[in-house]
Amino acid sequence: MQKKLCLTFCLCGAMLIPAIGPGTVSAANGELPDRAAIADAYKWRLNDIYPNDTAWQADANKLKTLFSQVAGYQGKLGNSAHDLLACLKLQDEISILAGERLYPYARMRRDENTADNEYQALSGKAQSLLVEAKAATGFIEPEILAIPANKLAAFRRQEPALKPYSYFLDGLLLKKKHVLSPAQEELLFRSEDVTEAPADIFNTLTGADMKFPAVKDEQGQEVQLSPGRYINFLRSNDREVRRTAFEAYNNTYHQYRNTLAATLNGYVKKNIYYAKSRNYASALEASLAPDRIPVSVYDNLITTVNNHLEPLHRYVALKKKALQLQEIHMYDLYVPLVRDVRYQIPYDEGIKMVERALAPLGPDYALNLNKAITSGWIDAYETKNKRSGAYSWGIYGVHPFILLNYNNDLNDVSTIAHELGHTMHSFYSNASQPFITSQYSIFTAETASTVNEHLFLNHMLNQTTAKNKKIYLINQYLEDLRATVYRQTMFAEFEKMIYARAEQGETLTADSLERIYHDLNVKYFGPEMTVDKEIDIEWARVPHFYRNFYVYQYATGYSAATALSEQILTEGKPARERYINQFLKAGGSDTPINILKRAGVDMAAPQPIEVTLTKFAALVDQLEKLLAE
């Protein structure tokens, strides 16, 4: 979030080239510019973390001394409340230094230019320091768990300064019944390298060994298929291009169906083994336990979405009609309803659009948002060897940073809104919470960013009068919701089903996985959809199935964001104050479910998901009317 005006110049060869400013993203020859050619107003200020690399090294040396200090507490945490508090404070200091200063600085310097060997090396050193920090403090949690419950309770009464650690300590106590003897814990720890094999094999097979055929593009040219190119083929206006790409891509996975079934079966069995070893009722319960999410939340998502499949069925039917198809197939889902909608939005205008869209969040949010934009928090433009994509990185005790690769497209403006959502979440949390409770959970991580996206899309829809652009925006909104709520819930239901079968002793084979996946597609997409046999293998190419029970959080986070944004737009001040004070400022001070509930959203109930799917249905209605005009 950055934008300080600067008219610097840089030397490039023998030429003096003015620094690139608003709306200029490439050098004169069409190549990406060097970083030095970008005005400072459009670059982040990592000097806010360290003024130079010498200061970084001084803190790296200091960290080593902290390792020695914390080692002095090993074996003593049960002695007194004073020793426990001192050790926890020292752990915070180590974590801040390693994870909130040394590592982010080195990584973000590397991300500025991934070809810079100096910062590649510094990033490697920072990663090693993180590992050392984890090892140096690894004794703390087991020692706390070994303190008798009544004694730990007495420590907490005796020492008021332990109060900020209450949520952390309560979490450890909940975990206690799932912690084994030291010898058993050692065995489980040593087995992790071996049990990661299924995921490693999947990544190697699909990322390195699997080769995709060439297919013809819209010009009739042979083009090599790849995971990155596949979605562009599915968006083609030429239906034959879509069909052939769809068949070729999925049939490539089909050739390895038995191996891929074996890797997924092995990964599922691994998680069941660890869950049983730690006395959890199921692998699902074990996966949700760290964030204290009840299994009922997962089940509620699936049940509620299953009860609201009709709007998705209507959307499929509407798309079939709009595309004038006799049959709609799985490869027709991604093709846009309107073509040639183009936006050219310079960065400064994009920033203004986002500020206007987020005005419903109130004056305090606007003030801090402007600080983010004008104070060197954002790295805006793509440059040579800069890391691709976008992210927000919250640095406790400094401020968050945003990496963008802005290229004047509407999606780039939406990305600004998204990343600013993460950034403001980190900003408010870090400013309001002690370090130990400043980190929000994965369950809520995408909520703030998606609230901003919703507010931005609503703003764009309200400001847009051109029919084609309105259709484009509504279709984008529907596709985002379909992909994030319906699709991810289908994935979550698939996971639940295969784990249930494996926990009953069934081996997951390619045939059984394909049957389950086919039937889910029939159920979710409805009677108008022709569910092609090629889609049956899609489970085999979903990398998130190797992060067990992770995908449901996309759907819950999106639903929470939809409910919150609707409240902000309809209720005004009371809703935004709940959102900022009870959610953004809460960090990780309570369970994600409790934090969201105080903000006005109960994710243990159907209502937020119902609000989201009602929004989907209303957008289908709007789209239907526009297409009929």
Q: Kindly list the catalytic residues.
A: 419
Q: Which residues are CB-contacts of 425 (< 8 A; sequence separation ≥ 6)?
A: 394, 440, 445, 448, 449, 584
Tokens 């490439």 sit on residue: 26
Give the separation between CA 334 and CA 492, rounded to whole angstroms. 21
SS3 labels along 542-556: CHHHHCCCCCHHHHH
| Beta-strand pair 401-406/391-393 | antiparallel
Query: How far is 137 from 2, CA to CA, in rounded Å?
Result: 36
The total of other beta-carbon atoms located within 10 Å of residue 404's CB is 23
Rounded to the nearest angstrom, the gap between the alpha carbon of residue 476 and the centroid of all alpha carbons in its chain is 19
Q: What is the Cβ-side half-sphere exposure of residue 216, based on CA atoms within 13 angstroms?
A: 9
Whole-angstrom Cα distance, residue 134 to residue 126?
A: 12
Instruction: Provide the β-strand partners of residue 393.
Output: 401
Q: How far apart are CA 548 and CA 188, in angstroms?
A: 18
State the alpha helices, DSSP H only, in 307-409.
310-322, 347-357, 362-374
| Torsions phi, psi for 11 (to 5 deg) | -90, 130
The token pair at 156 is: 């907490």
Distance, in Å, from the CA atom of 600 to the CA atom of 592, rounded to the nearest integer, reads: 12
